[in-house]
Amino acid sequence: MTPPKYSLLEGDVAPHLRRLSLPLAFGMLSMTLFSLADTFFVAKLGTGPLAALAFTLPVVMFFMGITFGLSVGTAAVLARVYGEGRIEKVRQLSTDALVMTLIIVVAAAVLGIATIELIFPLMGAGPEVMPLVRRYMLIWYMGLPFFGLMVVGNSCMRAMGDTAYASMIMTIMSAIGLILDPLLIFGIGPFPALGLPGAATAVMISYVLTCAYSFYSLAYKRRALSPVLWHAGTRDAWRRFMHIALPAMLSNQIPPISAAIITWMAAGYGKEAVAALGVAGRVEGVCVLVFYAIAAGVSIFTGQNFGAGNYGRIAEACRLGVRSTLIWGLGLAVIIWPLASIIPGWFDDNPAVIAYTAQYLHWVPVSFGAMGAMIVIHATMNAMARPLSATVLIILRMFGLYVPLAFFLQAQLGFLGIVVALMMTNLLIGLIAVLWQRRMMP
């Protein structure tokens, strides 16, 4: 295994964060643009398929949250060990993490398939969209194990400071999906016109091919894995990963659970409101991906410096990360405000969908910067082996603030109340996170 060129344990903090975050931002941008393109193509099929896709989003987020939780646990443990200078131990732990991931994500996929008919009707999916939802999710679940292995493989390299690798893998996956998506949705050339299930098929194929390339690269090109799949310390390694991963999984499950609740509330205003949430969510994903890239960079930096005991560098990295998200968030709000009524029309020409989406894009971007600050501080907590504190922050955001506020304000303002509740929640949790972080640092 070739160590990264730059040590995160010395030198100016800001250049390190830029070097870590910029490749991840590019990779995340490619994934988010594919997600937007996917929504755009599905919208051409009509409001019904677009609403069906919106119903799948919280459940997809839920199961992705499992894989991202495993990724967080893997990166946190490996970054600290790498910061301690134990390179061979990192190789064995990387293999241990992938074996554990395979077991967990296969079980998650089986559970997901078994509960399709239970979950979606509870979310408000009616008989007109359930056939589409069912076919989409059956295909997507088949790709979930490959996605999980790819994500955790990425985290192994990120923990060592190699974010360019993770960016490359994400870009390859997005490119494959973007090429296949219109071919399989609309039946271009020799391909069958599958409609919404075609979108799921394109995603699944991209997961499988990218996972295969990722394993080849990790095992043979980069020599980042150990050939030993089971050893005396395997269970201890799994316990170390799960100490961080379990709370991180819980943190990652809270947003999709709350999103399912919000989707159920929006369903009361019709499938147009549900479709609007789907469109707005995709647009928001493009806007805030930089926050997650910054947070990932701060997390890697924090993990390695925490292993080396460099607490002052961690505090500086967190301050820089929060400042960057606030500046980026302000810029987004200025850009999106005049376009709030224009952007929805790119996806759906239904006047109700456009009106609901415009309400979201008028109000929520005001709070993007505060949400970004919370994301950075949440990642820092996990990297410093404080997963319970990170989980409490997410629980407070969703169930202490957002869901109660949404229930209250939607009774007063209708769909707009759901939107205003999210804006208020982001502003409050951003302030709480910053104050909490100042008390948390050693």
So what's the pLDDT on residue 129? Answer: 83
Check if the beta carbon of residue 153 is closer than 8 Å to that of residue 222. no
- Token couple for 338: 């005049």
Summarised one tens digit per residue, pLDDT across range 386-421 is 777 777 888 888 888 888 888 888 888 888 888 888
So what's the pLDDT on residue 123? Answer: 76
DSSP secondary structure, 369-436, as one string: HHHHHHHHHHHHHHHTT-HHHHHHHHHIIIIIIIHHHHHHHHHHHTHHHHHHHHHHHHHHHHHHHHHH
So what's the pLDDT on residue 104? Answer: 93
Summarised one tens digit per residue, pLDDT across range 221-276 is 777 787 888 888 888 989 888 887 887 777 766 766 777 777 777 877 777 887 88
Averaged pLDDT score across all residues of the chain: 83
User: Is residue 50 scored above 90 in pLDDT?
Assistant: no
So what's the pLDDT on residue 165? Answer: 81
So what's the pLDDT on residue 149? Answer: 93
Summarised one tens digit per residue, pLDDT across range 209-221 is 999 988 888 888 7
So what's the pLDDT on residue 3? Answer: 47
Check if the beta carbon of residue 51 is closer than 8 Å to that of residue 129. yes
So what's the pLDDT on residue 440? Answer: 67
Q: How many CB atoms lie within 10 A of CB 203?
A: 25
- Token couple for 420: 């205003």
Domain limits, the chain: 13-440
So what's the pLDDT on residue 285? Answer: 73
Summarised one tens digit per residue, pLDDT across range 125-176 is 778 888 888 999 999 999 999 999 998 988 888 777 777 888 888 889 989 9
The answer for residues whose C-beta is within 8 angstroms of residue 309's C-beta and 6 or more apart is none
Mean pLDDT score, 37-48: 83
